[in-house]
Amino acid sequence: MRRTRWLPVTVIAFLACGLSAMAGEGGGSELGERMTQLVLQLAAILVAARLGAHVCRRYLRIPDVLGELGAGILIGPHLLGPYLGLFESVPGAGFPVSVELYGIATVASILLLYLAGLETDIGMFLRYSVTGTLVGVGGVLVSFVCGDVVAVWTGLSPGYAAPPALFLGAISTATSVGITARVLSQRRKLDSPEGVTILAGAVVDDVLGIVILAVVVGMCRLSGHAGEVHWGRIAWIAGKAIGFWAICTGLGILLAKRISKVLELFGSRQAMATVSFGLALLLAGLAEKANLAMIIGAYIMGLSLSRVDAAHELRHRLQPVCDTLVGVFFAVMGMMVNLGEMRAVFLVGLLYTAVGMGAKIIGCGLPALLTRFRPLGALRIGVGMLPRGEVTLLMAGVGLAGGFIGQDVFGVAVMMTLLSTLLAPLAMVKLFDDRSGVRGTDEDSEGTPNRSTSLALPNTEVAEFLLQSVCRMFAQEDCYVHQLGRDEDLYQVRKDDLTITVQREGNKVSLTCG
What single string gives the DSSP state of each residue in 125-183? HHHTHHHHHHHHHHHHHHHHHHHHHHHHHTTS-SSTTSHHHHHHHHHTT---HHHHHHH
Q: What percent of the chain has pLDDT over 70?
A: 80
pLDDT at 354: 94
Residue of 65, 157, 163 lying closest to 388 (CA atoms): 65
pLDDT at 177: 63
Which of 17-26, 92-101, 212-221 bottoms out in mean pLDDT, i.e. has the lowest? 17-26
pLDDT at 273: 92
Q: Which residue has the higher pLDDT, 101 or 125?
A: 101
84-113: burial string, b at 16+ Cβ within 10 Å, e else = bbbbebeeeeeebbbeebbebbbbbbbbbb
Element (H, E) at 390: helix 390-401
Residue of 390, 388, 364 lying closest to 378 (CA atoms): 364
The band of 444, judged by pLDDT with boundaries at 50, 70 and 90, is very low
Per-chain mean pLDDT for the chain: 79
Judge contact between 97 and 293, C-beta under 8 A.
no
**Mean pLDDT (whole number) for 499-509:** 85
Q: What is the pLDDT of residues 178-205, one digit of tens each?
A: 667 666 766 667 667 787 788 777 767 7
Q: Taking the mean position of all CA atoms in its chain, how far away is CA 205?
A: 12
pTM flag (> 0.85): no
Judge contact between 347 and 412, C-beta under 8 A.
no
pLDDT at 52: 92
What is d(CA 215, CA 421) in angstroms, rounded to the nearest whole number?
26
pLDDT at 130: 77
- CA distances (Å), origin 253, targets 118, 280, 306: 12, 14, 9
Q: What are phi and psi of 494, to 5 degrees?
A: -135, 140
DSSP state of 507: T
pLDDT at 225: 47
Judge contact between 443 and 377, C-beta under 8 A.
no
The band of 89, judged by pLDDT with boundaries at 50, 70 and 90, is low
Q: How many CA atoms lie within 13 A of 293 on its CB side?
A: 31
Residue of 208, 115, 134 lying closest to 170 (CA atoms): 208
Judge contact between 218 and 188, C-beta under 8 A.
no
pLDDT at 447: 46
The band of 235, judged by pLDDT with boundaries at 50, 70 and 90, is confident
Vertex 225, ends 223 and 228: CA angle to 5°? Answer: 50
What is d(CA 191, CA 61) in angstroms, rounded to the nearest whole number?
24
Q: What percent of the chain has pLDDT over 90?
A: 14
**What is the dihedral sign for C-alpha 386, 390, 391, 393?**
positive
Q: Which residue has the higher pLDDT, 442 or 212?
A: 212
What is d(CA 177, CA 135) in angstroms, rounded to the nearest whole number?
14
pLDDT at 392: 82
DSSP state of 450: P
What is d(CA 181, CA 233) in angstroms, rounded to the nearest whole number?
39
- CA distances (Å), origin 378, targets 340, 374, 386, 450: 39, 6, 13, 22
pLDDT for residue 475 is more than 90: no
Q: What is the pLDDT of residues 42-88, one digit of tens each?
A: 999 999 999 998 998 888 877 777 888 889 989 988 888 888 777 76
pLDDT at 1: 46
N-term to C-term CA, the chain? 44
Highest-confidence range of 234-238, 360-364, 473-477, by mean pLDDT? Answer: 360-364
pLDDT for residue 350 is more than 50: yes
pLDDT for residue 361 is more than 90: yes
pLDDT for residue 431 is more than 80: yes
Q: Which residue has the higher pLDDT, 292 or 114?
A: 114
What is d(CA 155, CA 171) in angstroms, rounded to the nearest whole number?
17
